[in-house]
Chains A and B, each alone.
Chain A
Amino acid sequence: MQDDDEVKSKGSGLSRRTFLKASGISLSVPLVMGYRVIKVSGAEVKVYGPGKVPLSLAINGKSYKAEVEPRVTLLEALRNELDITGAKRVCDRATCGACTMIVDGKPVYSCSVLAIDAQGKSITTVEGLMQGETLHPVQQAFIDNDAQQCGFCTPGFVVASKAFLDKNPNPTAEQIQKGLGGNLCRCGTYMGVRAAVAQAAQKGGRRNG
């Protein structure tokens, strides 16, 4: 994707850096917001950092605060700052799905989302799927069908399966294989995952929100 700001500042004959220097100060807002707003070719753009900025995230229905550098990913913020460690860092490049979270209803690879960009959004992690001590039907189906061995990919798979079933409540076997193709397992639990997703669909994997 092209950076609109980049294109326009180039077009103006200024480098991005000098352009920001020239125009960045006037609209600064206080640090509580965690960013400054500058005007770039008429549009307002948020500028964070480069140091730590305050971060506010809504995770599993609760509000969390931390201070992180703008380059910190959503995954790292949860794991390193908030001790929410169900999502795993494995490939760190949006390939394996072990870090899958649901953000505003959509499954995302949280290793490739900046924490600051997830502010103001509703984030669900694997820790948020249980209701009290009751497992979500997808979680129960993973246990029943032994869709896990070492379990390191399991939180990502469970969350991806939940998001998949939300969108495809009655999937065919082929849809399951395509829909969960974005998650990788090393121990080889795919047969269990296929059966688990099919079971959860029949039992209403969409329940519990």
Chain B
Amino acid sequence: MAEYKWPDADKRTHIGKRISRIDGPQKVSGRAKYSFDMNRPGMLFGKIVRSPYAHATVKKIDTSAAEAMPGVKAIHIMAEPGTPTAEVKWAGASILALAAVDEPTAEDAARAIKVEYEVMPHLVVDNDTKAGDQWTRVANENKQGDPDKGFSEAEVTVEGTYGVSIITHCCLEPHGSVMEWEDDKNVLAHLSTQAVSGSAAQIARPLEIAATNVRVKQDHIGGGFGSKFGPDEWDITAARLSKKAGGKPVKMFNERDAELMVAGARPSVYAKIKVGVKKDGTLTAWESQSWGSGGVGGGGAPPVPYIFAIPNQRKQHTNIINNIGSQRAWRAPNHPQACALTMPALEDAAAAIGMDPYDFFLKNIELAGQRAPIYTDELKIAADLIGWKNNWHPRGADKTAGPVKRGLGLSIHTWGGLGHPSDCDLTIQPDGSVELKMGTQDLGTGTRTALNIIVADTLGLPLNAVKITIGDSRYPASGGSGGSTTIGGISSSSRRAALDALDQVIAKAAPALDAKPEDLEAVGGSIRVKANPSKSLTWAQACSKLGATPLTVRGKNPGPGKLMDQGVGGAQMADVSVDIETGIVRINKIVAVQDCGLIIDLKTAESQVYGALIMGVCYALYEEKIMDPKTGRMLNPNMEFYKLAGIGDIGELVVHMMTGKGYDERGVIGLGEPPVVSPGAVISNAVANAIGVRVPTLPLTPDRVLAALEQKGGK
């Protein structure tokens, strides 16, 4: 019986090393096929007619002109007049879908559809708490300790307003699928999804077929970030169109404008915050009134104050219900918002008492609970890497001549982890070849590569001796990739499978080596006697003892042994320059110090952190879903005006992973979410430090920077 644990550091051959992703050659050569790249025989092109109004009822749809077009093969009404589906609640909502022989024909046909609407009142702004009962809901009110007493104990009370605008996921591969009926009972779905295994049942249900009759395939996904957990209504509609067209495959992917309008919003949050503090830096009280929106379902509920459990708190949060494409999970749901409210408020408190925020954070670090010692270590490392002691100056005290002012900011963050349920089948053939099959997906985090590393390391094989096959709902089910739970789940199940399989290979090989199974080990492509390594079989020789039939072992998570953990921390610091004449913020440097337990692949782990920092620069400085209050439409549903950072906008990024003793023993912990939490807060704090005034709301666009400076000047 195997002992289910990770190998000791000196026994690891691949785990924890810097290994290039195994699907890299496919991706750099254009051979990697995404769902969006599927060209199926006889494929039709789907197109959706969308509502131009933010809130309306569809009264009448005239499809006759489109129906008369010879290239149009199927039409399906999604907002049926006279039914509850006729009410559309955001601009871009689906009215009707059609499938045609090619894209130009589909576009012409969509233009030929006539829709009559009764326009209804809408709200698209996300910060109007006075909009009325129809639009606002007090989500929660909460009191901890004695806030009145806490504020009376405070020597200084600092008040401020903070906020984070709505952003969208802007996946480069839009949401969508190629759907086809293989016969009158079976559907093949090439879906762009973060949940291959879980999507089959979600496709089957509305189509009223058995989930076993739906096969979901996806080799690669072009971004998800939390917005692609299941099939969307347009995917189901594509399957309906396919059925109407005799089973022909229908390709249905959002155009870029639709992708930005309807396929995911990260809720906004704004808050008035009051912090009570003593002159020695002791935090005594917190009060916040917050509000925000993420569409018709309201917004999120950011956990404030973030990390620092200030003893006395009074909090109220209001959800605003508005007519924009609904919110979807976005990398570390609620955390970036909570962080971008809390850390700036605390940094303002430090500035108000004239304390270095680095000292202020350390002074209060016990409020972070059991992970306080790790935050302390991480803050110290980050401070060294950015030169905090030499480069920090009191708020607004950059004496450099000229309009460009420089500043430093800091923040800390946390996330959970653990691992989702995960099954896999590991097959070892009598010729020694090895294949792992799992119904998981690789979001670009390196899931394939991690599986390869774990199986090869466990079996004592080189990486290229193991085949990893994922992305098919017919393989053993594995959870959706969200909440940084994938690496915990898939590493645990694959490690268990490989350990069990190795046990069986060793048991078969032992007689040939005249040894007991417990005296054997798998090292360097051989099965050998631990005490006498020269006594060995090659891996292939050992596997030949399996006989004629391959060995298949099911690995599971959860399962025996502690292979994963939860709860990580990270500290980040930013160095920015702000031109006080133009309001333009430039990143000089961001430092990220992050722990995540045992690292499987250091190279792709670091890439996760670099990527998170860059995504953070995007939402800190550039990204914003801008809605027009009058027309109810998104004003920037394109990539020219919905701005992302480019390669020259990110400054110098430094990533330091906490590894080794104290971290490795914890087991594997996910890394996708945590490092994306702090960048908004660190950049906001660095800007405040540079220019001497808080710019309240992210993104810190030039207009907002100049407005904050103007207000400061007017005081």
Q: Footprint of B on A, CB under 8 Å? A: 69, 71-72, 76, 79-80, 83, 85-93, 95-96, 98, 125-127, 129-130, 135, 139-140, 142-144, 146, 148-155, 158, 176-178, 180-181, 183-194
Contact = CB atoms under 8 A, between A and B. Distances in A.
B30 A150 contact: no
A72 B104 contact: yes
B618 to A, nearest CB: 8
B223 A148 contact: no
Interface stretch (B33-41, B333-341, B461-469): B33-41
A164 to B, nearest CB: 11
Nearest to B654: A191
Interface of B: 20-21, 23-34, 36-37, 39, 45, 102-104, 170-173, 220-223, 225, 255-256, 443-445, 603-604, 606-607, 610-615, 638-640, 644-648, 650, 653
A80 B39 contact: yes
Contacts of A191: 610, 614, 650, 653
Contacts of A158: 28
B32 to A, nearest CB: 6
Contacts of A89: 36
Contacts of B222: 88, 150-152
Nearest to B171: A186
Contacts, number: 167
A85 B638 contact: no
8 closest cross-chain pairs (CB), A and B:
A86-B30, A188-B614, A152-B222, A188-B611, A150-B444, A149-B444, A151-B27, A177-B648
A162 to B, nearest CB: 11
Given A76-B103, A150-B443, A150-B444, A186 B29 contact: no
Given A151-B32, A155-B30, A71 B104 contact: yes
B222 to A, nearest CB: 3
Given A85-B39, A90-B256, A127-B31, 7 more contacts: A88-B172, A88-B173, A93-B256, A96-B639, A150-B444, A181-B648, A185-B614
A30 B662 CA distance: 78
A178 B610 contact: no
Contacts of A153: 172
A144 B34 CA distance: 22
A139 B647 CA distance: 18
A151 B648 contact: no
A127 B33 CA distance: 12
Interface centre among B29, B171, B225 (most CB of A within 10 A): B29
A158 B26 CA distance: 12
Contacts of A142: 24, 28
Nearest to B648: A177
B28 A150 contact: no
Given A93-B640, A149-B444, A149-B611, A186 B172 contact: yes
A8 B704 CA distance: 47
Contacts of A151: 23, 26-28, 32, 220, 222, 444
Of residues B24, B31, B32, B644, which shows the largest number of chain A Cβ atoms within 10 Å of its Cβ? B24
Nearest to A138: B28
Contact of A83 (B31, B39, B172): B39
Contact of B37 (A85, A146, A184): A85
A144 B20 contact: yes
A143 B29 CA distance: 10
A79 to B, nearest CB: 7
Nearest to B102: A80
Contacts of B172: 88, 90, 96, 98, 150, 152-153, 184-186
A130 B170 contact: no
Contacts of A93: 256, 638-640
B640 A95 contact: yes
A130 to B, nearest CB: 6
Nearest to B640: A95
B487 to A, nearest CB: 14
Given A150-B220, A152-B172, A91 B27 contact: no
Given A92-B255, A93-B640, A143-B21, A189 B611 contact: yes
Given A88-B173, A151-B220, A152-B172, A127 B614 contact: no
Contact of B27 (A72, A154, A186): A154
A150 B614 contact: no
A90 B604 CA distance: 24
Given A90-B172, A154-B27, A188-B612, A193 B647 contact: yes
